[in-house]
Amino acid sequence: MSNSTISFPSHTIAIVGAGFSGTVTAINTLRANQSTGLRILLIEQSVQAGRGLAYRYDDDNLLLNVPAGNMSAFPDKPDDFVEFCQELDPAFNAKSFISRRLYGEYLEKSLEDAMTERPGIISVVNAAVIAVHPAPDRGSYRLELEGAEAVVADKVVLALGHFAPALPAGISKVANHPVVNAFDFAAIDALDRDAPVAVIGMGHTAIDAVFRLTSCNPTRRVYMISRRGLLPFGHRFNPQPPVTSGFPSWLASCSGTVRAYTRGGEGGGEGA
């Protein structure tokens, strides 16, 4: 950690985390603001921006759980991801389920294109943020970075992603019976290939874990445990677009906070 601080003369937005949420926030903030006095700091502790937790793996068995036609990074360009895929393989279409690896490449390219189109506004900072301190007298924030100089920003967006899940009650880590995070493929690959494994949960992440567990030993015994015993539901073959409706009037009277929106109700606003 450095004692010095870097300040920027323009309006600065610091985005902590450059996974899907942070990357898309940076790109769309840039597209929505044509001001030349804008600076966006995309701060990410890993080397690759845009990959995050979900799109960092090279295993093409890991697929998106949403069809390509609903995965554009841009609300005004709904076919953007489909067109990206079709440049690689014309057989892809809006109903295709694409690998997460390919979606990570799409996010990386979208960020690179945005930075090329309007250079000098988005900067990727490879560092971990260890603290954020408000500076009320300046109406700004000071972000302390590990191994780098601190930076000052007018606004801060926390795009921190998923934290490691807590162990279920009554389960503890035992040397001879390891408990691993389903997103930690290195730990999964290090498990005894012949030992049976219990997977707690039957959602999309559990299916990914089973693919990984059986890729090195197809005959490995895997037990999947679920409170409801249900596998993930499949998508409809011919989904209909959602019914459009007007913007709820009560939302217009809410203050622009997540708490206000989640507490509001029909006619209730923030106090509901």
Mean pLDDT of the 110-138 span? 91
For the record, the structure tokens of 98 come out as: 């694409």
Kindly tell me if the per-residue pLDDT of 267 is higher than 60.
Answer: no
Kindly tell me if the per-residue pLDDT of 172 is higher than 60.
Answer: yes
What's the chain's average pLDDT?
Answer: 84
Q: What share of the chain is helix, strand, coil (3-state, %, to 5)?
A: 25, 20, 55
Mean pLDDT of the 213-241 span? 82
List the single range of 84-93, 163-172, 212-221 with lowest mean pLDDT.
163-172
pLDDT of residue 261: 77
The pLDDT tens digits of the residues spanning 50-104 come to: 888 888 888 888 889 899 999 999 989 999 999 999 999 999 999 899 999 999 9
Q: Is 76 among the domain residues?
A: no
- Same domain for 45 and 119, yes or no, is yes
| Positive/negative CA dihedral, 206, 232, 62, 83 | negative
CA nearest neighbour of 147 among 163, 132, 125, 123: 125
Measured at the CA of 202, the angle between CA 200 and CA 203, to 5 degrees, comes to 115
Kindly tell me if the per-residue pLDDT of 178 is higher than 60.
Answer: yes
Q: Is 75 among the domain residues?
A: no
Most confident of 184-198, 237-251, 257-271: 184-198
Q: Is 194 among the domain residues?
A: yes
Of 137, 158, 179, which one is at a domain's C-terminal end?
158
CB-count exposure of residue 262 (10 Å: 0-12, 13-18, 19+)? exposed
Q: Is 144 among the domain residues?
A: yes
- Same domain for 53 and 173, yes or no, is no
Mean pLDDT of the 212-239 span? 83
The pLDDT tens digits of the residues spanning 236-248 come to: 666 666 666 776 7
- Same domain for 128 and 143, yes or no, is yes
Kindly tell me if the per-residue pLDDT of 1 is higher than 80.
Answer: no
In our burial notation (b when 16+ CB lie closer than 10 A, e otherwise), range 194-217 reads eeebebbbbeebbbbbbebbeeee
Contact 101, 88 (CB under 8 A): no
Kindly tell me if the per-residue pLDDT of 271 is higher than 50.
Answer: no
- Same domain for 41 and 131, yes or no, is yes
Q: Is 84 among the domain residues?
A: no
Q: Is 82 among the domain residues?
A: no
Q: Is 70 among the domain residues?
A: no
pLDDT of residue 183: 83
pLDDT of residue 250: 75
Q: Which residues contact 223 (CB under 8 A, 6 or more apart)?
A: 196, 197, 198, 199
Mean pLDDT of the 200-210 span? 88
The pLDDT tens digits of the residues spanning 126-148 come to: 999 999 999 776 789 999 999 88
